[in-house]
Each structure stands twice: as C-alpha cells, then as structure tokens.
C-alpha cells in the first residue's frame, strides 16, 4: 500500500524504525514536494506527488538513510517543477541536492541508440551515478513507473519495458537486489514478449498448484521431524516460485523443455547461523539422495553480486526432483535487498563496516580498484561519508566513436585510450580527437568524453609517451614496441659489405618447450642448416641466450632470418654478426 498522506507515511517510517529526528527532516521534504508538484497529475490521473511518495516508500523498504529518503521525495522537482539545485541545497543541504541532481541527470541519459552495447550502458549508468544511493533511488523510481505503466501510451510502454529489461533489471541484479530485479522483469516481460509470456504463464499455472501442495503437505513435515530429531530450530521453512522472466530465460537454454526445469518451485529453509546451514544440508542428504553436480555452495563461494546460500537438488519424497535453498536470515535479507542491506543506516543501529560493503561489490572491483580507497570507518559521520564514495573515483569512462565504453585509470590520456582499444592503434597513433576536436597526446581524459584516434601505418610509438601514460597496458605495449624496434641490431657498416659467410645469431629468450623447434623451423624455411648451437644460461643475465651459427648467402638473408626469429614467441632480442 502506498501511503496517501504524511500521517500514513510517517506511520510506515515509525514501523521501519526511523528516528524522530529523521522523520522531522523527511516531513519537510514531504511538504516541499507536495507543494512543488501541486496541480500536476500522473498519467493515471492521480496527483503527481503520489509518485514521489511511492518512490520514497520503496526506498524506506530498502531502509535507506534519511538523506536518501528526502532526495527520493524530491527526485522529480528539478526536472518537472523548475526547482533549482540551489534551492534544494538551501532548504535541505548539499547532500540531498547532490542526490536529487544525480537522479535527474541519470534520467537524461538516453538509450535510443540501438548500436550501443547494453553492457556499456550499464557501466556508464553506474559510472555517472557518483553515489550508489542515486542508483537505488533511480531503481525505485523505475519500479513505480513500471507498476503504473498501464496508464501510459502502448508504444511508449514497450520502449520503457525494453529499457527496464536491458538496463534496470540487470543493474538491480548486479547490486544483488533480488526483490527489485524480479519484479521489474515480471512487469516488463508481458510488454516486451507478450506471446512468450502467455505461454510460460500457462505452463506454470498448470504445474504450480500441484507442486505447492507437494512441498506443503509431503516435504515440509518430513523436514520438520528431522529437524526436531537433530535439534535444529529453523526460522522458516517456505518455498519460492521462480519469476516468470528468469524461468523463460532458462527455458531458452533448455530448448523450451519444461520438464528439465527442476526449480520452478524451490524449498527455502532459513536457519540461525552458517553452521546450521551445513547441518541442514547434511540432514537433507541423509534423507534424500542428491543429484550429482547440483550442490552449489554460494556461502563458501558467493556469486559475484554477493548472493549467498546453499543450493542442492535431491530425489525427494516419492523420488521427485526438488531444489532446496538453505540460508541464514541475514543472507535472506541480503538476497532481497542486496547492496542496500549493507547500506541501510538508521540512527541507533551500528553502522556496518566499509569492508563488508566491499565484499558484496566484487563486480565493481573489476571495474576499478576503489576498494583500496575504502577505509573501515568507525563513527557514523565517517560512515555516511563512505556511503558517498564514488565507486569509480579512480577511473574514467570514455567512449569510442561507436559508443563503446572504455574504462581507464584516472588522468588517463588519449595514448592510454588508444592502447586500451587495440595495440595496433596505440602503436600507429599520430593524433587524437576528444569530442571532435584535436587534442594533445597527454591531455587527461574525463568521463563521458568521446575519443577518436588517428593512425598511420608506418608510425611508431615515442619513448616520451612513457612519461605521461597512466595504464600499465599502455606502458608495457610501448616498451614492447620500442624493444622490438631496437632489438634487431643491424650489422655495423664495415660488416655490411661482407656477403657469403658464417653468421652468428644471438637470441635472448624466455625458455619454453618447443622454442628450439620454432627457431630451427625458421632456418628450415630458408633451407639452411644450423651448424652450431649453444645455450648460455649465464647467472649474471636475467634471460638465457641461444647462440647459433649458419652459412648464409648475404647480409640481407641474415636480416630476414633475424626478423623472423624476432617474431617467435618468447624470443626477446636477436642480434647477428658475421
Ligand atoms: Mn520519477
């Protein structure tokens, strides 16, 4: 139920444990939003402010802090009411203004370009939200818009629903917010794929009632008896129905064969602690034989989005294949609320440590090394500060001309960009355009800029680049290219006059199996026999050397062979002499 007025909303906040001080602040934002949206209507005909309250209610359910709740109430006032950021900052402080502005900005990112990769968009979306609360408010906003989408024009419905499936639901998933992800998908599914939805729905409706009865009446009490015998007190023995959209996605992988889906319904057992999770698993496997390969310990190895649980599938009562999910209450809350569960900060509760947030956000870590920046704040002041951590504050996200997002370290330059796209582009770079204008090679890039690299075939990297590039990729590739450049040492002038004779090649190598074979293959290709070969594994050199000699026709041939040798993997340097 969406609260209709302040009293109802206030009651909800009291139930959820928000302090009086918090509620006083939130009430101020509530009246401000009511006034700002005065006279505006939703497509449903309801007063516009009902939307703001619905979004705030969702944020309260996720237990976001008072600042986020105030921002959620005000989230559409900049865009729809002509209120300025300054005004919000003056009335509610910089933090609230920052969040409201962030949510408004996210709203202005457009996804119409089908060419753009969805993955890139997700990254961009997250990168442009400098505070994760902005993303959470935006998700709550989208959730309410999806719940009320039936009032919107049909063509528009489909576009919004597609965007929801492609951008918003995956972000909710990445943040581990299972409740929001599942609902967003199920609301969007019938609008984007109406026929498929109808089919899946029909199939599920055929099977679910019988399955529910089986779990409720046959399985549950067997479990309960076993738990009593083993002195385990479960908090809940329940079941969950698979969301229709994720079921359909699974069916696509299973040739639409419903019989192969074994987790349409799954028994969910919530216990007090991790130890009990494993004891329950043991009990279940004594009762029923597990299906091989179907025991998944997401407690020992959480999913990338932080999901924890133990899953197992067994031949259950009457040999029916049944999935079980075992978890603690905390894991359950995390699975529903995701990042928000660690984020919730209500006065009086002890704030969670930054490190825990870090643990859940492993996928973000892939994009950046922000984790190093996070301390373990003790006071709530510091904790709130840490909530504002820009997950990407040491990364910049720039775009290729095709709209692909390239993720680079802070202060990266066009040269870093070029090497991130492709080694050849870096090696042959002669210039760069940033947002369509020529830019110096060492200009620091900022998020959102579009970079285009100009190349020329015979161009080579410059030693000087090493003084300003930021990414290790660029550094390594530049060094490699320069080494390659200088590593085939030509004969001194006096020797170049020499023609036929015995040439000696010295190769610096990283030894590996098959390397000698690759080297001798080069000589075979020229139909030349190697006369002599020695292997110097000298202690004072970092790399071993191979020295070999052969009769060659002329210097040109030696040059060609040297070049070929240089191209062999693990041959670092080649020089030759007559
Ligand atoms: Mn909105």
Contact present, 417 and 441 (Cβ < 8 Å): no
User: Which residue in the list 27, 46, 61, 80 is annotated as catalytic?
Assistant: 80
Which among 285, 330, 340 is positioned nearest to 308, based on CA atoms?
Answer: 330
Report the DSSP beta bridge partners of residue 399: 405, 450
Report the DSSP beta bridge partners of residue 325: 268, 311
Under the banding of pLDDT at 50, 70 and 90, the label for residue 338 is: confident
CA angle 220, 314, 317 (to 5 degrees): 45
Please provide the DSSP assignment of 58-72 as one string. HHHHTT--HHHHHHH
Please provide the DSSP assignment of 470-539 as one string. --HHHHHHHHHHHHHHHHEEPPPHHHHT--SEEEEEEEEE---TTHHHHHHHHHHHTT--EEEEEEE--T
Q: Who contacts 122 (Cβ-Cβ below 8 Å, separation ≥6)?
A: 167, 170, 171, 174
User: What is the mean pLDDT of the segment spanning 75-86?
Assistant: 90
Alpha helix stretches (DSSP H) within 193-298: 194-214, 220-229, 244-253, 274-287
Distance CA 207, CA 195 (A): 19
127-131, 377-381, 439-443: range with highest mean pLDDT: 439-443
- 10 Å Cβ neighbour count for 298? 17
pLDDT at site 26:
96
pLDDT at site 322:
93
Q: pLDDT per residue over 167-219, tens digit each?
A: 889 888 877 788 899 999 999 999 999 999 999 999 999 999 999 999 999 99
Q: pLDDT per residue over 447-470, tens digit each?
A: 777 899 999 988 889 888 999 998
**Torsion angles phi and psi, residue 240, rounded to 5:** -125, 150
Q: Who contacts 333 (Cβ-Cβ below 8 Å, separation ≥6)?
A: 341
Q: pLDDT per residue over 341-385, tens digit each?
A: 655 443 333 333 333 333 333 333 333 332 233 333 333 333 333
User: Which residue in the list 27, 79, 518, 570 is annotated as catalytic?
Assistant: 79
- Model confidence at 498: pLDDT above 60: no
Distance CA 552, CA 401 (A): 50
| H or E stretch covering 269 | strand 265-271
Alpha helix stretches (DSSP H) within 338-413: 339-343, 354-360, 362-367, 380-387
Contact present, 495 and 568 (Cβ < 8 Å): no
Length of the chain counted residue by residue = 578
Distance CA 232, CA 26 (A): 43
Distance CA 298, CA 115 (A): 36
Q: Three-state SS string across 290-354, please?
A: ECCCCCEECCCCCCCCCCCCEEEEEECHHHCEEEEEEEEHHHHHHHHHCHHHHHCCCCCCCCCCH
Q: Is 80 a catalytic residue?
A: yes
pLDDT at site 542:
61
pLDDT at site 243:
92
User: What is the mean pLDDT of the segment spanning 84-92?
Assistant: 95
Q: Who contacts 352 (Cβ-Cβ below 8 Å, separation ≥6)?
A: 342, 343, 383
CA of 128 from ligand 1 middle (Å) equals 18
CA of 52 from ligand 1 middle (Å) equals 7
| H or E stretch covering 191 | helix 178-192
Distance CA 60, CA 9 (A): 10
Distance CA 514, CA 494 (A): 36
CA of 106 from ligand 1 middle (Å) equals 11
CA of 20 from ligand 1 middle (Å) equals 26
Q: pLDDT per residue over 34-55, tens digit each?
A: 999 999 999 888 999 999 999 9
pLDDT at site 492:
53
Distance CA 410, CA 400 (A): 17
Distance CA 462, CA 260 (A): 59
Please give the mean pLDDT across all residues of the chain: 81
3-class DSSP state for residue 235? Answer: coil
User: What is the mean pLDDT of the segment spanning 92-99?
Assistant: 94
63-67, 89-93, 445-449, 498-502: range with highest mean pLDDT: 89-93
CA of 77 from ligand 1 middle (Å) equals 9
Of 90-94, 166-170, 538-542, minimum mean pLDDT range: 538-542
- Model confidence at 78: pLDDT above 60: yes
CA of 113 from ligand 1 middle (Å) equals 22
User: What is the mean pLDDT of the segment spanning 534-538?
Assistant: 72
pLDDT at site 353:
34
CA of 118 from ligand 1 middle (Å) equals 22
Distance CA 499, CA 343 (A): 76
| 277 burial type by CB count under 10 A (0-12 exposed, 13-18 middle, 19+ buried) | buried
Contact present, 239 and 212 (Cβ < 8 Å): yes
**Torsion angles phi and psi, residue 268, rounded to 5:** -120, 125
Distance CA 192, CA 244 (A): 13
Of 170-179, 236-245, 421-430, minimum mean pLDDT range: 170-179
Q: Radius of gyration of the chain from Cα atoms? A: 32
How many helices (H) and strands (E) are present in the chain, helices listed first? 27, 16
Under the banding of pLDDT at 50, 70 and 90, the label for residue 281 is: very high
User: What is the mean pLDDT of the segment spanning 488-503?
Assistant: 62
- Model confidence at 439: pLDDT above 70: yes
3-class DSSP state for residue 404? Answer: coil
Under the banding of pLDDT at 50, 70 and 90, the label for residue 387 is: very low
Q: Angle 178-192/132-147 helices, nearest 10 degrees?
A: 40
CA of 51 from ligand 1 middle (Å) equals 7
């Amino acid at each position: 139920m969406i609260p209709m007025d302040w009293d109802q909303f206030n009651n909800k906040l009291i139930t959820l444990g928000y302090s009086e001080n918090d509620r006083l602040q939130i009430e101020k934002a509530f009246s401000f939003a009511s006034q700002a949206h005065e006279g505006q209507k939703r497509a449903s005909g309801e007063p516009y402010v009902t939307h703001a309250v619905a979004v705030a209610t969702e944020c309260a359910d996720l237990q976001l802090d008072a600042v986020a709740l105030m921002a959620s109430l005000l989230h559409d006032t900049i865009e729809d009411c002509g209120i300025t950021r300054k005004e919000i900052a003056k009335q509610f402080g910089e933090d609230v203004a920052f969040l409201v502005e962030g949510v408004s900005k996210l709203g202005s990112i457009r996804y119409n370009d089908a060419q753009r990769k969805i993955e890139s968009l997700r990254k961009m979306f997250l990168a442009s939200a400098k505070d994760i609360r902005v993303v959470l408010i935006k998700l709550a906003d989208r959730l309410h818009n999806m719940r009320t989408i039936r009032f919107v024009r049909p063509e528009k419905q489909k576009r919004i629903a597609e965007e929801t499936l492609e951008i918003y639901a995956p972000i909710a998933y990445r943040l581990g917010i299972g409740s929001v992800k599942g609902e967003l998908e199920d609301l969007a599914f019938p609008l984007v794929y109406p026929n498929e939805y109808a089919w899946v729905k029909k199939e599920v409706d055929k099977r679910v009632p019988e399955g529910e009865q089986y779990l409720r009446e046959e399985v549950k009490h067997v479990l309960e008896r076993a738990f009593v015998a083993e002195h385990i007190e479960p908090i809940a023995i329940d079941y969950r129905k698979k969301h229709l959209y994720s079921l359909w996605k699974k069916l696509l992988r299973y040739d639409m064969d419903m019989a192969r889906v074994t987790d349409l319904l799954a028994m969910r057992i919530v216990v007090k602690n991790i130890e009990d999770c494993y004891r329950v698993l043991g009990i279940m496997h004594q009762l029923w034989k597990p299906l091989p390969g179907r025991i998944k310990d997401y407690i020992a190895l959480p999913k990338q989005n932080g999901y924890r649980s133990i899953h197992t599938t067994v031949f259950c009562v009457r040999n029916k294949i049944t999935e079980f999910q075992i978890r603690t209450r905390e894991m359950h809350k995390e699975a529903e609320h995701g990042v928000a569960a660690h984020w919730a900060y209500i006065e009086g509760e002890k704030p969670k440590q930054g490190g825990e947030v870090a643990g859940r956000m492993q996928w973000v870590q892939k994009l950046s090394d922000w984790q190093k920046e996070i301390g373990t704040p003790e006071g709530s002041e510091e904790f709130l500060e840490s909530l504002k951590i820009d997950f990407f504050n040491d990364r910049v996200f720039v775009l290729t001309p095709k709209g692909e997002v390239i993720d680079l370290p802070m202060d990266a330059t066009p040269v870093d960009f070029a090497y991130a796209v492709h080694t050849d582009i870096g090696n042959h770079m002669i210039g760069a355009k940033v947002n369509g204008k020529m830019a110096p090679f060492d200009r620091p890039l900022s998020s959102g800029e579009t970079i285009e690299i100009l190349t020329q075939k015979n161009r080579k990297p410059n030693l000087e680049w090493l003084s300003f590039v930021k990414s290790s990729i660029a550094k390594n590739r530049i060094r490699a290219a320069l080494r390659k450049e200088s590593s085939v040492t030509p004969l001194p002038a006096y020797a170049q006059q020499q023609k036929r004779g015995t040439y000696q090649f010295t190769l610096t190598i990283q030894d590996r199996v098959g390397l000698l074979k690759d080297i001798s293959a080069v000589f075979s290709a020229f139909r030349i026999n190697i006369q002599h070969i020695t292997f110097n594994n000298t202690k004072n050199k970092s790399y071993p050397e191979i020295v070999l000699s052969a009769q060659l026709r002329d210097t040109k041939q030696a040059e060609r062979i040297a070049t070929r040798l240089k191209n062999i993997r693990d041959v670092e340097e080649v020089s030759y002499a007559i």
